[in-house]
Structure 1
Amino acid sequence: MTPPETQGQGSNAATPGASPAVSLCVSTLQHRPDFLRAASALRQGTGGFLLQARDRRDDSPATRVGFTASKKIGNAVARNRAKRRLREIARAVLPGMARPGWDYVLVAKPGVTTIRDFALLLADLQGALARIHKP
């Protein structure tokens, strides 16, 4: 015999609302030519990663971001960890500091991105964006 459903369980339970994530038109780069165009534009090195940025000079208000971790980072587990960390700092910082119509690529550094303190990675991205968008 199955126990009776308690309040808040089962198919009639209310689902929690979506998290209030702020996207502000941030999408992900997925095509190689976009990564190559960003690589030939502005670059800013930090302690934890390399930031590449370019102004698309189009009328689109969307900000696009891409993430790269080469085999120099390590095996697939290490590369995925590095990209997860880069995605999380981009999610935290870009909605407030990114400019519309720009592409950003965060490139992981071997031996640093996966072990660097998360607060330092956040500070690295904020500083890199400030230097790239310096008037």
Structure 2
Amino acid sequence: MPPLPHPAVAPARPTDDGTAAFRMSMPPVIAKRADFLAAARALRQGTPGFLLQARDRGDGLPFRVGFTCSKKIGNAVMRNRAKRRLREVARLHLPQGARQGWDYVLVGRPDATVSRDFADLCGDLTGALRKIHK
């Protein structure tokens, strides 16, 4: 029996040449306020593009991720844009650097999250995860 793919990898439609392509899906999301508050009391690592809060739940289940942007970011359009960018960074880079049983919350920063180059945001997450898990 072949091994199952990582939970954040979902099969996508076949490509034109008949091979199956894979699309990274979104990791499980934190939904309860209590989990956001617990992450806020745990480890944190600031980056130029956002703040990363991380908490070891200690249960060995798959990691979860949450996103938050306050009204300091701007109006609803700017907050939604910032969260979309954070979601995409997390979708691309969290599966490689995250640990099982951890919660991660990405907190948007005013101006920086929306205006920072996307490649720099990706580098920010990779560096923050490395510092959190050193």
Could you tell me the TM-score, scaled by structure 2's length? 0.83
Any stretches of 5+ residues in structure 1 without a counterpart? 1-15
Map 1:14-33; keep pairs closer than 5 Å.
Answer: 16-17=13-14, 20-23=22-25, 26-33=27-34
Q: Cα distance, 1:87 vs. partner?
A: 0.2
Measured after TM superposition, the shift of residue 21 of structure 1 is 2.4
Q: Does 1:66 align with 2:66?
A: yes
**1:52 match:** 53
> What is the CA-CA distance between 1:19 and the residue it aligns to?
5.6
Gaps of 5+ in 2: 1-12, 15-19
- Aligned residue in 2 for 1:5: none
Conserved? CA contact 1:22–1:95, under 8 Å: no
SS of aligned partner of 2:116: coil
Give the length in aligned residue pairs. Answer: 117
Aligned residue in 2 for 1:82: 82
What is the correspondence of 1:93-104 to structure 2 with a 5 Å cutoff? 93-104=93-104
Equivalent residue of 2:23, what SS? coil
How far apart, in 1, do the equivalents of 2:99 and 2:77 lie? Answer: 32
Residue aligned with 2:22, SS: coil
RMSD: 1.5
Counterpart of 1:126?
126
Alpha-carbon offset, residue 22 of structure 1: 3.6
Moved over 3 A (4+): 16-19
**Aligned-partner Cα distance in 2 for 1:114–1:36:** 24
Deviations 1:62-87 (A, max 9, x none): 11000000101000000000000000
Q: How does 1:24-43 map to 2 (within 5 A)?
A: 26-43=27-44
SS at match of 2:114: coil
How far apart are the structure 1 equivalents of 2:27 and 2:117? 25
Equivalent position amino acid for 1:35 in 2: F
Tell me, in whole angstroms, the C-alpha distance in 1 between the residues paired with 2:21 and 2:35.
Answer: 30
- State the secondary structure of the residue aligned to 2:79: helix
| More strand, by proportion | 2
